[in-house]
Amino acid sequence: MKRRPLLDYALLGLLAQQPMTGYGLRRVFASTPMGVFSDSPGSIYPALGRLERDGLIRPSGQSGARAGSRLLTPTSAGLSALRRWLSAEITREDVARRIDELLLRFAFMDRHLDAALVDRFLGDLAESASAYVNELRAYARSAAGPPSSTGRLALGHGIAAYRATAQWARRAGAEWRKSHGLDVS
Amino acid sequence: MKRRPLLDYALLGLLAQQPMTGYGLRRVFASTPMGVFSDSPGSIYPALGRLERDGLIRPSGQSGARAGSRLLTPTSAGLSALRRWLSAEITREDVARRIDELLLRFAFMDRHLDAALVDRFLGDLAESASAYVNELRAYARSAAGPPSSTGRLALGHGIAAYRATAQWARRAGAEWRKSHGLDVS
DNA sequence: GCTAACATGTAATCCGTTACATGATTAT
DNA sequence: ATAATCATGTAACGGATTACATGTTAGC
């Protein structure tokens, strides 16, 4: 099971919220904060081709009366793949290098995972982000630390950003538990 | 003048701090928060090949008595290219999609730009990040806003993260001005 | 003598970007 | 009519990842 590009999961997650055409997906990327992904046809259509080839999505009708347009929907295999991706453990590498992927996963979670699992994700994220803050602080203090003054300040940005992430995760967890009647017993 | 990959500037910036071998650069990526870049030889050596082919770096000796090792140093053309990259205007796209690149630029700045320009960079970054926070908030309130509950919370993370960036930039600016005798008159 | 660290590369494959290309439908 | 929007693709190119491949030097 080779690693699937993040774009594939972004498309799969959006189609699971609402069947759309390729053009509709492009509009999402062009006009929302999901715009970290390119809206160019040269990335979207090949990705949709991959997903269809692998049986994760299928065409399910036309958009309005428009000839040639294809509304796309995840298959059950597609939903399984999505759930597997959403359920993966949070690793140190995810936090250090793929924080955007973790947030994308979270954004899609409510439709596909139990409330308790969503809560666990936020708890793990808060913990991992704090651990990474400690790592960055240790590096800042170490002899191998940043050699330049702006380098030191830039490291401070990393620390501030991950602190903000940890804090957000704790607060979001509290909010989530409140609105879902969960509580740490 | 085609766009150069970020990795090239990361290498150029590191070599401007200290001439190193390719292996030394790999170690930096493997053992510091610069680890957002891959330390695999398959990315580093082709990138160094590009930089040398384009006359931005040149070999300048051996590491110790090790045969075959090449210490690499930026040429004056390389330093110019680095300064051009460091001096570019901050765009909305930089903030929304390439925030890591902005921080990398900042980390290398002190050696290559005037203190006043570094200060201006931080001011512009604080302003751009705040503007982007407002954009995200407007989107959160809009009818097109996030359709799911975790989607809404994830957007909240984006807002929190960019708020942290703006705050960091203001504080770092204050610190920088203090240690460089600059002051807004 | 052996292992870890130092050191540099190449090949296959896949993905993303950019540019090109086409056509239908809706609104003005 | 004509422009904007809807809609789907392909081709060339370059870069990143992964795996392969090789050889030296220092420390134990």
pLDDT class for A19, splitting at 50, 70, 90?
very high
- pLDDT of A67 reads 82
Q: Is B51 exposed, middle or buried (0-12, 13-18, 19+ CB in 10 A)?
A: buried
Q: Is B121 exposed, middle or buried (0-12, 13-18, 19+ CB in 10 A)?
A: buried
- Decide which of A61 and B135 is more confident: B135
- pLDDT of B185 reads 61
- pLDDT of B68 reads 84
Q: Which of A6-10, A55-59, B66-70, B143-147 has the lowest mean pLDDT?
A: B143-147
Question: In the structure, how far is the CA atom of residue A68 from the C1' atom of nucleotide D16, in angstroms?
Answer: 35
pLDDT > 90: percent of chain A? 89
Cα A108 from Cα A12, distance rounded (Å): 10
Cα B2 from Cα B8, distance rounded (Å): 13
User: Hey, are the CB atoms on A151 and B108 less than 8 Å from each other?
Assistant: yes
Q: Coil, strand, or helix at residue A180? A: coil
Average pLDDT, chain A: 95
- pLDDT of A2 reads 82
A33 token code pair: 């904060």
Helices A149-179, B99-109: crossing angle, 10 deg rounding: 150
Encode pLDDT of A62-103 as tens digits: 887 788 899 999 999 999 999 999 999 999 999 999 999 999
DSSP secondary-structure letter at A33?
G
**Of A181, A17, A30, A7, nearest in space to A107 by CA:** A17
B20 forms beta bridges with B72
A165 token code pair: 């992430």
Q: Is B105 exposed, middle or buried (0-12, 13-18, 19+ CB in 10 A)?
A: buried
B18, B118, B158: residue with CB nearest A150: B118
Contacts (Cβ under 8 Å, ≥6 apart) of A113 = A83, A86, A87, A121
CB A66 within 8 A of CB A24: no
DSSP secondary-structure letter at A74?
E
Q: Would the pTM count as exceeding 0.75?
A: yes
A103, A150, A155: residue with CB nearest B154: A103
Candidates A112, A133, A150, A175, partner chain B, best to mutate (most B CBs within 10 A): A150
- pLDDT of A147 reads 80
pLDDT (tens place) for every residue of chain B, 185 residues total: 789 999 999 999 999 999 999 999 999 999 999 999 999 999 999 999 999 999 999 999 888 778 889 999 999 999 999 999 999 999 999 999 999 999 999 999 999 999 999 999 999 999 999 999 999 999 999 988 888 999 999 999 999 999 999 999 999 999 999 999 887 66
Give chain C positions with protein CB within 7 A.
6-12, 14-21, 24-26
Cα A155 from Cα B119, distance rounded (Å): 17
Q: Is B163 exposed, middle or buried (0-12, 13-18, 19+ CB in 10 A)?
A: middle
Contacts (Cβ under 8 Å, ≥6 apart) of B55 = B75, B77, B78
Cα A108 from Cα A10, distance rounded (Å): 9
pLDDT tops 90 at residue A185: no
